[in-house]
């Protein structure tokens, strides 16, 4: 329920750089208000809209959604306002003299005849100019914030819009509210559309229709596809917006002319519609991959047969593994795919030995920090995340994120080896290919049976299915691979998993409460044994989703304790000692590594850390790779608990013990490859608790939502073109 609170600002207790403010106001009784209130000054008479909430540590506060403020009228409040510290050189003594001289006309004099201030002892012409400019700037900002909040933006959204669009923000947003989608995090098409209709933008406005089209294509990207058919897109958008199909088609062609969209005919009766960025990412990936696949043999390996024999003897390589090693060293590009226990790590070691013996430098990388760490431990060679390898950076002046490594500044390596390729989306893969040196090898390794990337594209699947790039599929499993590998292969073959060594265990439970209690108890027991344990679940929002499991485990593992600080943000509580995850890419987030005396920027979706300290409104998080970051209150939206997270989030990671709930009924998303991905995250033990019927359903559900992508099609087209077989 929205409530109103009116009063005079007494003091500013805390204000962050992005406008988050804690202030004390004088209303019927002194009250603490919290929220985005940029530029709030002592002495202002303000009306706040929001709701009271009870903070565990600080008591009752008023959480502000929006507010209205005005210059003070009371003489004492005017003194308080002018001496609040935002006008350099003007303290309480001089402010009192000004008010004694001009009384209720003080602001009129400052705005219209500010040189009159020099009549007052202690005020120079320069200070008079400073007072005038400060008040003028204050009123301009207040006008912008007031206008934006009057259109329906919250104070936080108004702050972000003003920061991005400047003093003209209110004018620009009133003309085209859909600008907010691009410039304000958290504002989607529906929010911008509500604001637009509220301020009188017509339903058939080209701004509205074009952004309605872009909204659908961004949703398509979020679901993993890179395009949608024109004949499906037009009626869908027309129906959703309540406009004529012809108007949507006209707006679509305008977007193509503006080079925001691409239309491509792949069949006589079908046109695909792409966001321009997605189309160019896929087609340029295809062109570079095809070039690599058809390139002349790189840095010819002398005495290859002799070297292979040495590696075979050193690592007891099978014929299949030798084929993989040969493909990796003889070709400019190759892809090696296989499940757990097929010897991918051994192959990489042999490849590194051969290339290293030739004096070639190799860069190893993976999509996530955990995957890179695992790769490094397995091979004994330094590995990095792809973002770090490509030197992801943030340009504060341009508000732009970019990779320092690209065509003009390629990687300094003779070979690049990437693990967990199933996780690569087409955008990241495109940037990797751009940074690959002209003569370098690219070796891609992964498990094609795992879930596809969270981001758009089907990179690994499309490359393999195109049959353009040399590919080795590993099928031989080693006897010492362990019971986890046996269980995983049973699942792939549609069989209920069984292991003789107890590494896979299922426990039947009759209720969600029973499952939750069992998994929490097991998590606690394994933690006390010093095991690396992780809870993973198919979904977030149910009684057995990651949100509920996180809260339940945290209360057992890290309960409240005197002296252990905590902070509440929305519906989340962060406590010292908590295991947390970064859930949004933030390329500008500053970090430091005390062990390496290093500084840098960039914290990425999926990074895991621990809350070290909470003090002065900030949360200090130490990530697993020893990067340390400080989060102000408003930035806590980037963090979530990490005692439990989704199976999708677990990709690229490996743990001693995996715990999974399975009590959801027959849901379409409960698929075989989801279960397979979850099981293969474990090194020693998998424990599933729930319903045998659900587990059976997942083993039998081979449905995989087919992504609409063109990387495979473009690769095959280039292959036919090369062979003169294009129709």
- For residue 537, the surrounding DSSP H or E stretch is strand 533-537
Which residues are paired to 567 by β-bridges?
574
Q: What are the structure tokens assigned to 76, written together?
A: 């004492």
Is residue 342 annotated as involved in ligand binding?
A: yes
- 3-state SS, residue 405: coil
Please provide the distance, in angstroms rounded to a whole number, between the alpha carbons at the two ends of the chain. Answer: 64
How would you class 118 by CB atoms within 10 Å of its CB: exposed for 0-12, middle for 13-18, buried for 19 or more?
middle
Query: Under 8 Å CB-to-CB from 22, ≥6 apart: which residues?
Result: 12, 13, 14, 15, 32, 33, 34, 617
Is residue 373 annotated as involved in ligand binding?
A: no
Please give, one letter per residue, the 3-state secondary structure of 47-86: EEEEEEEEECCCEEEEEEEEEEEECCCCHHHHHHHHCCCC
Long-range contacts of the stretch 692-696 (C-beta < 8 A, 24+): 692/506, 692/508, 693/666, 694/662, 694/663, 694/664, 694/665, 694/666, 694/670, 695/496, 695/506, 695/662, 696/496
Q: What are phi and psi of 20, to 5 degrees?
A: -70, 125
Torsion angle, alpha carbons of 170, 175, 181, 183, to 10: -40
- For residue 165, the surrounding DSSP H or E stretch is helix 155-165
CA gap 523, 576 in Å, rounded:
19
Amino acid 473: pLDDT: 95
Which residues are paired to 36 by β-bridges?
20
The model's pTM is 0.83
Is residue 475 annotated as involved in ligand binding?
A: no
Amino acid 529: pLDDT: 92
Query: Cβ distance 20 to 159 under 8 Å?
Result: no
- Among all chains, which residue has been given the structure tokens 């309960």? 559
Q: What angle do CA 97, 99, 100 make, to 5 degrees?
A: 60
Is residue 309 annotated as involved in ligand binding?
A: no
Is residue 46 annotated as involved in ligand binding?
A: no
Query: Cβ distance 660 to 689 under 8 Å?
Result: yes
Q: What are the structure tokens assigned to 452, written together?
A: 């596809």
Per-10-residue mean pLDDT for the chain, 727 residues long? 83 79 87 84 87 78 84 86 83 90 89 89 89 86 82 81 85 90 84 88 92 94 94 95 95 96 88 96 96 78 81 88 91 93 91 90 91 90 91 65 90 95 95 94 94 91 94 83 83 85 90 95 94 92 90 91 84 88 83 83 85 88 90 86 91 91 81 93 93 92 86 91 62
Amino acid 480: pLDDT: 61
CB atoms under 10 Å from CB of 669, counted, come to 12
CA gap 399, 397 in Å, rounded:
6
Strand locations in 185-322, DSSP E?
227-229, 261-267, 270-275
């Amino acid at each position: 329920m929205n409530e109103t609170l009116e009063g005079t600002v007494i003091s500013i207790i805390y204000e962050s750089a992005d406008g988050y403010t804690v202030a004390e106001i004088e209303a019927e009784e002194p009250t603490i208000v919290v929220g985005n209130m940029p530029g709030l000054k002592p002495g202002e008479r303000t009306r706040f809209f929001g709701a009271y909430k009870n903070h565990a540590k600080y008591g009752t506060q008023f959480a502000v959604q929006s507010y209205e403020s005005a210059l003070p009228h009371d003489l004492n409040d005017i003194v308080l306002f002018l001496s609040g510290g935002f006008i350099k050189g003007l303290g309480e003594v001089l402010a009192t003299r000004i008010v004694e001289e001009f009384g209720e006309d003080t602001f009129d004099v400052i705005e219209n005849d500010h040189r009159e201030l020099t009549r007052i002892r202690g005020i120079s012409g320069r200070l008079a100019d400073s007072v005038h400019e400060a008040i003028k700037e204050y009123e301009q900002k207040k006008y912008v914030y007031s206008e934006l909040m009057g259109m329906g933006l919250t104070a936080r959204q108004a702050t972000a819009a003003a920061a991005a669009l400047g003093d003209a923000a209110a004018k620009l947003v009133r003309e085209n509210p859909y600008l907010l989608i691009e410039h304000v995090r958290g504002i989607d098409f529906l929010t911008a559309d509500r604001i637009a209709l509220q301020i009188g933008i017509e339903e058939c406005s080209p701004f509205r229709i074009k952004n309605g089209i872009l909204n659908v294509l961004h949703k398509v990207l979020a679901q993993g596809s890179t395009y949608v058919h024109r004949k499906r897109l037009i009626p869908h958008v027309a129906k959703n917006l309540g406009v004529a199909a012809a108007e949507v088609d006209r707006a679509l062609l305008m977007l193509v002319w503006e080079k925001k969209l691409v239309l491509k005919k792949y069949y006589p009766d079908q046109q695909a519609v792409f966001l321009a960025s997605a189309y160019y990412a896929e087609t340029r990936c295809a062109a570079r991959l095809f070039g690599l696949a058809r390139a002349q043999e790189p840095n010819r390996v002398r005495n290859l047969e002799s070297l292979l024999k040495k590696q075979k003897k050193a690592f007891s390589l099978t014929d299949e593994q030798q084929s993989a090693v040969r493909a990796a060293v003889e070709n400019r590009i190759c892809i090696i795919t296989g499940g757990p226990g097929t010897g991918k790590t051994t192959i990489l070691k042999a490849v590194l030995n051969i290339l290293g013996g030739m004096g070639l430098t190799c860069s190893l990388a993976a999509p996530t920090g955990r995957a890179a760490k695992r790769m490094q431990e397995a091979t004994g060679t330094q590995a990095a995340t792809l973002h770090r390898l490509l030197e992801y950076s943030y340009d504060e002046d341009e508000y732009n994120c970019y990779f320092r490594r690209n065509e003009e500044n390629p990687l300094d390596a003779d070979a690049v080896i990437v693990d967990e390729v199933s996780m690569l989306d087409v955008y990241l893969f495109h940037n990797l290919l751009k940074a690959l040196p002209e003569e370098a090898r690219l070796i891609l390794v992964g498990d094609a049976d795992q879930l596809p990337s969270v981001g758009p594209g089907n990179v690994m699947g499309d490359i393999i299915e195109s049959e353009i790039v040399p590919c080795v599929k590993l099928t031989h499993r080693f006897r010492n691979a362990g019971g986890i590998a046996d269980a995983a292969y049973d699942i792939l073959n549609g069989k209920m998993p069984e292991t003789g060594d107890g590494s896979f265990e299922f426990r039947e439970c009759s209720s969600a409460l029973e499952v939750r209690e069992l998994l929490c108890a097991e998590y606690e027991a394994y933690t006390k044994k010093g095991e690396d344990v992780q809870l993973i679940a198919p979904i977030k929002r149910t009684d057995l989703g990651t949100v509920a499991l996180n809260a339940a485990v945290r209360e057992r593992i890290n309960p409240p304790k005197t002296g252990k600080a905590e902070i509440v943000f929305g519906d989340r509580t962060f406590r010292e000692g908590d295991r947390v995850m970064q859930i949004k890419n933030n390329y500008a987030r500053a970090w430091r590594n005390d062990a390496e005396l290093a500084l840098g920027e960039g914290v990425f979706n999926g990074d895991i850390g621990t809350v070290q300290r909470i003090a002065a409104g900030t949360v200090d998080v130490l990530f697993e790779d020893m990067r340390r970051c400080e989060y102000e209150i408003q930035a806590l939206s980037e963090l979530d608990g990490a005692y439990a997270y989704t199976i999708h989030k677990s990709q690229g990671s490996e743990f001693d013990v995996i715990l999974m709930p399975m009590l959801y009924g027959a849901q379409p998303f409960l698929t075989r490859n989801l279960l397979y991905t979850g099981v293969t995250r474990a090194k020693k033990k998998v424990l599933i608790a729930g319903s045998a019927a659900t587990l059976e359903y997942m083993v039998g559900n081979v449905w995989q939502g087919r992504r609409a992508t063109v990387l495979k099609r473009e690769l095959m087209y280039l292959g036919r073109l090369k062979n003169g077989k294009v129709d």
